[in-house]
Structure 1
Amino acid sequence: MDKVNQTTVTKFIFLGFSGSPSVQLILFVMFLTVYLLSLMGNTLIIFIVLMDSTLQKPMYIFLGNLSFLEIWYTTVTVPKLLVTCLSKGVTISVHGCIAQFYFFFSLGATECIVLAVMAYDRYIAICSPLRYSLLMNVQICLKFSAGSWIAGFIAPIFPTILISRLRFCGPQKINHFFCDSDPIFKLSCSDTFFSEALSYTISSAVILSSFLLTVSSYGNIVATVVRLSSREARKKTFSTFASHLSVVSIYYGTITFAYVRPPAKYNFTIGKVVSVFYCVVTPLVNPLIYTLRNQEVKKAFRKFLVQKAFFFTGVIEKFYVTCEFE
């Protein structure tokens, strides 16, 4: 059929994950549980960093930024994923799809940059501890944080503009649970070569540059740690950045597999499974890894629990005293 005579599509239909109703229900419970835990964990980290004066340091300011980022990063995609698990024919408007694409990739690019900056922060702290207060004070930390968000939200602007100018004539079904770049390109009846090339180039540039900066920082950290004479000093230093390395390995491993490859080789089934890791799992893993092996955060968390325990004890005591007088 001549594409000129085809009706322009105004909405898309998410296919999500296929399976029986029982399988869909299991997936819904799993994704909802992980999503809620992720929201609670990241919100708790932000609250603790803001409320505890001992955590007003660059490292924890970056951690608070990462947690705030993860809340929105997972919220961009997971609610629609949950709906696709419960019902068929979940739709999204073309404009809504393009908006989801933009915010998802903006937040993803921001996360790449924030992880690179956090690695640089650890590099200075371990390799140049005497100059740390000069090179990474709170003011510089805030500038790095602001720069990460600005750069992250600028990166996908041009690909988004090009996608918004594409024409969609059908079919309407997106073989995914969110508006990823490749599924969108597959549905367009316009020439997508330039849009795909630009999207691939920018995503590869952001991912690979931030990854190389991160690896370079950790490489220098490893070299410094190996030269330490004390075994105890090596053990303590390794523990401070091992958690960061775990987060980086999980995140970059999945997004590199998904986006740093020729668009023609995209497999939708594998793509959806891999997407679950960086859309759903990683936002939960980040707060767990960063807090479970961090003594200062755990100390602040215990302090927070003790304060709340005293608060609720006082409330209960006042309640009983009021009841006795009545």
Structure 2
Amino acid sequence: MPRRPWRKLLWVHQPYPDNYVDASFLSQLKRNLHVQQYSFWALSSDSTVIISHVYSVAIFVCVFVAIYKDKYNPAWFASIGSICTLVGYFAWDGLGEENTTSRTATAKSAILIVSTLLGLSPVLKSLTQSTSSDSIWAISFWLFVLNIFFHDYSIGSKKTFNSPFCQVWLNRSSFPPTLSTNLAIAAATVLASRLSTTLSVFSFLLFSIELFGLFPIFSRWLRSYSFVAHLILTSILAVVTEVGMFYIGGWWALSVWSVAILSAVFVAPGWLIALQKYKNEIQGPWDPAKPVLRSR
């Protein structure tokens, strides 16, 4: 007598061994069911959001080196930063992002920040006199590394990024966005204590607040308002950074920096897309069903 066909039921007694399976067992096997296919240019455009912040950190380091070597007037950098801040604020205000009440509050906050820096600059200048410069460089380096990692790379509540380059940071919901700003200001404070004059400390800290406290807000708003405008802004930051890198280390530093940035923007997305063919996510009939969440 032929045996009854095997069925995928554990509670039914069948004339087959316990570990027996036939060809129909894997008939519902699915591979790479939830794998997201990425576009090269979408990944490259999303990576510019991270690169623009890295440009800001690099510009800040170049400004510190220029002031530390006493080759440029520190007030010059503070003046350029203040002019750029005013231009960005008026652009933001002209597109309807501010009102009369907010303008008054913004002016009061600006006056308070400048007054506080004027009063604290003599104290901050002698903050780390007993600390060696090697320790200051190491502390500021790791503070900036943490600043880049914890920076808020989102563009508002209505738009998010789908690429893995930004999802790593967007999923860090347990850390407040102000953590990155505090880390950058802390790094600027310890670096400012290495400067020689009170004017240098004041100008440097004012520039750091404008760069790490105000510029990310404007950059995030500009990215949500117009991608083309944000791309132009990133290009300007790239040119300024290239000039600064050439000033710090010459052609060698400029070449290394350019290769690293081009690799992050173009090589890394292509490498990720090339690795997708090795993705082997298997979902079979033994996997539990995933609940579907529906909005009410």
Q: Under a length normalisation based on structure 1, what TM-score does the superposition of the two structures give?
A: 0.30
Q: Under a length normalisation based on structure 2, what TM-score does the superposition of the two structures give?
A: 0.32
Radius of gyration: which is bigger?
2
Larger RCO, structure (CA 8 Å, separation 6 or more)? 2
Higher helix content, 1 or 2: 1
